């Protein structure tokens, strides 16, 4: 396999062409303790910033999902100092006032869109911050849904907003208070509390493997939507 | 973009799509599910667990004489990282009611419920809080939330998936707690996928006989995990989180009770002692052991640390002979080798097809059956698609999802999948994915009862580190449920128990006893465990690290 030269924290290393930044770091001999997590783009541990030759832009990416490029200069940002405001979700009301109180810096948003450009998930970060300012929690929850809390938005924000914490609060408020509530789940929970299934479960639990197997292969498959 | 040499096969997939779509739309099963006999045959001939060298006898410890997964046996027949004589056990750095080892889903859940019981909690976690397989689960969580479903049917599905080896009391706990867990998570603010009337969107999964999979797009694990972490961080006075501080051994007392753990600071390389009235192991599974050389879907930290330290202390393991290979791991491009392609993709109607575009298996068999059928198609029937790096896989025809459910379904329901593949130039809304089984789940673990108790006093286990819930094969959506149900139960029971525990004098003698057992068994090895991190340093680099001394994988 061909090699490509990259700069890790300013120092040149030759790494296999086509490798992701994380495998390139390991190939170079780094034993990762920080800056490495799920390696599949879900955990936000491996935030990385880099520049490419002849390009003024400071780029961002996840080390697990970004392929190395010739002469790229990179450094990992494995931690973002940011406060998580303490709140009791059961005592909040789903309104813009909550954000005014807990994360007042949201209202300093300059609409510069730097957060959106920094997001490795391509989330319209600024749009969800603006949605919160307008009191549209549902929209903020929807747009921010795929946030992996890597912190790159917060690192770049000139208004010093911690967007990913704000998005999480919006989603929690939506999930708890605003999402439509179904009826049947209450019935099912009540049935279980009332021990409706206990007798049959006790019978099943005491059956031999063969008997359970018979019941299993005799069960019907029914994928209708209810 | 797929390379030229795959184009011919891709055309055949496109050509058969219309007919396959017709069958799917008719409501008929697109391929005949296997009978009990056919299942047995394909498993014994093609599942990696059944290969000659997959298992070996472990020569020490509580399961001495049992045949278990070879890589796990190696890990258990290893030396401790520590010299017990170096520790001042009379002066532990920390004391707490409940020590939770592992900061993933089960750990966070346990912490919240132990706190509810009035216990002080320390969470020791190897990487960051939340760094775990729980964060990565995509597809969903099972719960019988439909009227034509019930805990009974859920019970049967789970037992059948596990080949009836599951411990009945554990499955019973799993299925009866499930609907309540759905509600509890929602009250904390988890955004489940719902219809306009609030009814949960449910999907089918491999081995389930009803639509029972609740989801949060394909970020289900992350959605739940972020809420749980946020909650844990809301009680800093009661729950102390120690990150980058894995537990490398348990501490016992002179009455044979578990009494805490030895923590190792990954940054400063210091050791410290935590004395605790009860201890809960929630360290997850073993994907990063790369069993039989398979790539894995698992988190970087999934190195079975909890199994090792519990075993050394005398905890019994169950079903450590069984490994779950997820049928659909990415094979191409090479950069995402082993990446999880969530079962939700098949739940939505995507079909596995071979190189000539033919269906060859019912798309929703239990995972071990489905995986074995893929291996058979590639190895025995030679109907797989080969890559230039010598790998082989079958197609998972995803574009058919939009044809079945309408344009935009894939983008809306599978944003993580679309994103992962698009990073490498593949658009799964119009091209299939190339897939092959990938190492996914530790079916077995430390044996527990429905209260999460082990055979050791004051030691509890929950989540993937435990064994018995899933028998020898877990169904989709039952692991997210597992860590929620048993994390909660472990937290409640360990929290309550911590109020009554009287600890004796602390000791690490069990480590010396274990060392003696290794010696008596004639085991000569320089292996050290828990390994804490997987070893990805190339050999050439190690050869040049002339003054490095490796303790397991860490130098």
The model's pLDDT over B16-49, given as tens digits with 9 standing for 90+, comes to 999 999 999 998 889 999 999 999 999 999 999 9
Give the pLDDT score at B334.
Answer: 87
How far does CA B266 lie from the centroid of its chain? 23
B408 pLDDT above the threshold of 80: yes
How large is the greatest C-alpha to C-alpha distance in chain B, in angstroms?
73
| CB–CB contacts below 8 A, A to B | 223
> Three-state SS for A24?
helix
**Percent above pLDDT 70 for chain B:** 100
Over its C-alpha atoms, chain A yields an Rg (Å, rounded) of: 25
Work out the minimum CA distance from B404 to partner chain A, whole angstroms: 15
Q: What is the pLDDT of residue B27?
A: 83
Mutate one of B179, B218, B334 to test the A interface: name it (highest A CB count within 10 A).
Answer: B179
Each residue's pLDDT expressed in tens, for chain A with a length of 226 residues: 799 999 999 999 999 999 999 999 999 999 999 999 999 999 999 999 999 999 999 999 999 999 999 999 999 999 999 989 999 999 999 999 999 999 999 999 999 999 999 999 999 999 999 999 999 999 999 999 999 999 999 999 999 999 999 999 999 999 999 999 999 999 999 999 999 999 999 999 999 999 999 999 999 998 887 6
Separation between Cα atoms, residue B145 and residue B214, nearest integer Å: 9
> At B392, phi and psi to the nearest 5?
-140, 150
Are residues A191 and A197 in contact, defined by beta-carbon separation less than 8 angstroms?
yes
Which of the residues B346, B367, B474, B510 is marked catalytic?
Answer: B346
- Within 8 A by CB and 6+ apart from B71, the residues are B286, B289, B290, B291, B292
Q: According to the 3-state scheme, what is the secondary structure of B136-157?
A: HCCCCEECCCCCCCCHHHHHHH
Closest-CA residue of chain B to A170: B189
Tell me whether residues A219 and B195 touch, CB distance under 8 A.
no
Residue B548 is predicted with a pLDDT of 85
Give the mean pLDDT of B293-297.
Answer: 94
Beta carbons within 8 Å of A167's beta carbon, 6+ residues apart:
A125, A128, A140, A141, A144, A147
pLDDT digits (tens, 9 = 90+) for B377-389: 999 999 999 998 8
Determine the Cα–Cα distance for residues B363 and B432; give it in Å rounded to an integer.
15
**Chain A residue closest to B157 (CA)?**
A216
> What beta strand segments (E) does A32-191 contain?
47-51, 59-62, 73-76
Does residue A100 sit at the B interface (CB-CB below 8 Å)?
no
Residue in B136, B145, B211 closest to A38 by CB: B136
**pTM score of the predicted model:** 0.97
Of B87, B51, B121, nearest in space to B278 by CA: B121
Residue B554: pLDDT band by 50, 70, 90 thresholds? confident
Q: How far apart are CA B447 and CA B318, in angstroms?
A: 5
For B382-417, letters b (16+ CB in 10 Å) and e give: ebbbbbeeebbbbbbbbbbbbbeeeeebbeebbbbb
A55 in reach of chain B (CB within 8 A)? no
Question: Looking at the complex, does the CB of residue A48 fall below 8 Å from at least one CB of chain B?
Answer: no
Shortest Cα distance, chain B CAs vs residue A110, angstroms: 27
Q: Give the best residue of A41, A121, A162, A175 to mutate against chain B (max B CB count within 10 A).
A: A175
Q: What is the SS3 assignment for A146?
A: coil
A215 touches chain B (CB under 8 A): yes
Whether B189 sits inside 8 A of A122 (CB atoms) is no
**In this complex, is the C-beta atom of A173 within 8 Å of any C-beta atom belonging to chain B?**
yes
Cα B229 to Cα A133: distance, rounded to the nearest angstrom: 25
3-state secondary structure of A123: coil
- Cα–Cα distance between B110 and B124 in angstroms, integer? 13
Q: Does A15 touch chain B (CB under 8 A)?
A: no
Whole-angstrom Cα distance, residue A199 to residue A103? 51
| Partner B, chain A 132-161, Cβ-Cβ below 8 Å | 141, 145-146, 148-149
Question: Which of A19, A42, A168 should one mutate to test binding to chain B, selecting the residue with the greatest count of B CBs within 10 A?
Answer: A42
Which residue bears the tokens 């179904």? A182
With bands split at pLDDT 50, 70 and 90, how would you rate the model's confidence at B551?
Answer: confident
Verify whether residue B326 is a known catalytic residue: yes
Express each pLDDT in B475-534 by its tens digit: 999 999 999 999 999 999 999 999 999 999 999 999 999 999 999 999 999 999 999 999
Q: What is the 3-state secondary structure (H, E, C) of B323-386?
A: EEEEEEEECCCHHHCCCECCCHHHHCCCEEECCCCCECCCCCCCHHHHHHHHHHHHHCCCCCEE
What is the maximal distance between C-alpha atoms in chain A?
73
A121 contact B CB<8A? yes
Judged by a CB distance cut-off of 8 A, whether residue A213 touches chain B is yes
Chain A residues close to B233, C-beta within 8 Å: 84, 86
Cite the DSSP H helix spans in B7-150: 7-26, 36-46, 70-76, 105-116
**Tens-digit pLDDT profile for residues B442-486:** 999 999 999 999 999 999 999 999 999 999 999 999 999 999 999
Q: How far is A33 from chain B (nearest CA, A)?
A: 7
pLDDT classification of B540: cutoffs 50, 70, 90: very high
pLDDT band (50, 70, 90) for residue B423: confident
* The predicted structure's pLDDT at residue B28: 86
Q: Which residues of A touch B189 (CB under 8 A)?
A: 89, 171-176
ipTM score of complex: 0.97
Question: What CA–CA distance (Å, rounded) separates B274 from B436?
Answer: 43
| pLDDT tens digit sequence for B70-108 | 999 999 999 999 999 999 999 999 999 999 999 999 999
Residues B388/B5, Cβ–Cβ less than 8 Å: yes
Interface of A with B in 57-96 (CB under 8 A): 65-67, 84, 86-90
Verify cis geometry, omega within 30 degrees of 0, for the bond prior to B243.
Answer: no
Closest alpha carbon to B223 in A109, A167, A209: A167
Average pLDDT, chain B: 96
Residue A183 in contact with partner chain B when CB distance is under 8 A: yes
The token pair that represents B45 in the structure block: 């001939």
Q: How confident is the model at residue B112 (pLDDT cuts 50, 70, 90)?
A: very high
Are B313 and B76 in contact by the 8 Å Cβ rule? The answer is no
- A122 min Cα distance to partner chain B (Å): 9
- Written as six digits, the tokens of B137 are 């689960």
């Amino acid at each position: 396999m061909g090699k490509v030269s990259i700069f890790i924290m300013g120092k040149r290393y030759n790494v296999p062409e086509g490798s992701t930044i994380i495998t390139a770091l390991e190939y170079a001999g780094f034993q990762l303790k920080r800056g490495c997590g799920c390696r599949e783009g879900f955990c936000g541990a491996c935030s990385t910033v880099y520049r490419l030759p002849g390009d003024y832009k400071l780029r961002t990416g996840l080390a697990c999902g970004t392929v190395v490029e010739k002469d790229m200069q990179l450094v990992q940002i494995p931690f973002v100092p940011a406060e998580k405001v303490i709140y009791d979700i059961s005592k909040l009301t789903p309104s813009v006032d909550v954000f005014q109180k807990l994360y007042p810096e949201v209202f300093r948003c300059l609409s510069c869109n730097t957060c959106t450009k920094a997001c490795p998930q391509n989330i319209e970060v600024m749009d969800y911050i603006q949605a919160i300012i307008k009191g549209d929690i549902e929209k903020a929850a929807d747009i921010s849904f795929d946030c992996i809390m890597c912190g790159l938005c917060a690192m770049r924000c000139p208004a010093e907003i911690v967007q990913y914490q704000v998005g999480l609060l919006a989603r929690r408020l939506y999930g708890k208070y605003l999402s439509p509530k179904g009826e049947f789940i209450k019935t099912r929970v009540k049935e279980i509390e009332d021990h409706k299934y206990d007798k049959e479960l006790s019978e099943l639990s005491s059956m031999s493997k063969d008997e359970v197997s018979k019941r299993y292969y005799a069960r019907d498959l029914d994928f209708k939507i209810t | 973009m797929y390379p030229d040499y795959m184009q011919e096969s891709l055309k055949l997939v496109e050509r058969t799509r219309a007919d396959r779509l017709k069958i799917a739309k008719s409501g008929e099963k697109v391929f005949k599910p296997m009978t009990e006999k056919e299942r047995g045959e394909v498993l014994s001939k093609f599942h990696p667990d059944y290969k000659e060298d997959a298992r070996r006898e472990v020569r020490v410890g509580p399961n001495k004489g049992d045949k278990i997964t070879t890589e796990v046996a190696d890990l258990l027949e290893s030396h401790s990282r520590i010299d017990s004589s170096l520790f001042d056990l009379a002066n532990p750095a920390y004391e707490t009611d409940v020590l939770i080892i592992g900061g993933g889903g089960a750990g966070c859940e346990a912490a919240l419920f132990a706190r509810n019981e009035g216990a002080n909690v320390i969470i020791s976690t190897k990487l960051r809080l939340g760094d775990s397989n729980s964060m990565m689960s995509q597809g969903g969580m099972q719960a019988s939330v439909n009227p034509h479903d019930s805990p009974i049917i859920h019970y049967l599905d789970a037992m059948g998936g596990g080949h009836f080896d599951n411990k009945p009391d554990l499955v019973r706990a799993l299925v009866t707690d499930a609907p309540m867990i759905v509600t509890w998570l929602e009250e904390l603010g988890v955004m489940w996928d719902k219809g306009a009337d609030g009814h949960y969107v449910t999907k089918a999964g491999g081995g389930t006989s009803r639509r029972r999979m609740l989801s949060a797009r394909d970020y289900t694990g992350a959605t739940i995990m972020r809420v749980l972490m946020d909650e844990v961080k809301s009680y800093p006075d009661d729950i102390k989180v120690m990150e980058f501080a894995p537990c490398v051994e348990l501490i016992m007392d002179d009455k044979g009770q578990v009494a805490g753990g030895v923590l190792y600071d990954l940054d400063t390389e210091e050791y410290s002692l935590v004395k605790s009235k009860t201890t809960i192991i929630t360290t997850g599974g073993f994907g990063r052991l790369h069993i039989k050389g398979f790539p894995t879907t698992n988190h970087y930290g999934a190195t079975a640390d909890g199994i090792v330290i519990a075993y050394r202390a005398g905890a019994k393991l169950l079903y450590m002979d069984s490994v779950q290979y997820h049928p659909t791991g990415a094979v191409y491009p090479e950069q995402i080798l082993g990446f999880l392609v969530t079962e939700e993709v098949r739940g939505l109607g995507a079909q596995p097809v071979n190189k000539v575009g033919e269906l060859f298996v019912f798309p929703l068999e239990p995972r071990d059956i489905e995986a074995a059928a893929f291996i058979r198609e590639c190895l025995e029937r030679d109907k797989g698609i080969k890559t230039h790096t010598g790998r082989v896989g079958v197609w998972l025809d995803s574009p058919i999802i939009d044809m079945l459910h309408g344009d935009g379904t894939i983008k809306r329901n599978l944003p993580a999948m679309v994103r992962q593949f698009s990073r490498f130039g593949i658009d799964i809304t119009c091209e299939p994915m190339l897939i092959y089984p990938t190492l996914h789940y530790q079916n077995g673990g430390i044996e527990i009862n429905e209260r999460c108790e082990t055979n050791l006093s004051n030691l509890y286990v929950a989540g993937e580190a435990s064994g018995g819930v899933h028998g020898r094969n877990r169904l989709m959506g039952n692991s997210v449920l597992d860590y929620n149900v048993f994390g909660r139960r472990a937290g409640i029971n360990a929290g309550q128990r911590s109020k009554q525990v009287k600890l004796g004098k602390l000791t690490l003698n069990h480590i010396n006893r274990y060392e003696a057992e290794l010696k008596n068994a004639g085991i000569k090895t320089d292996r050290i465990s828990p390994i804490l991190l997987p070893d990805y340093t190339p050999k050439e680099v190690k050869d040049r690290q002339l003054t490095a001394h490796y303790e397991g994988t860490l130098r």
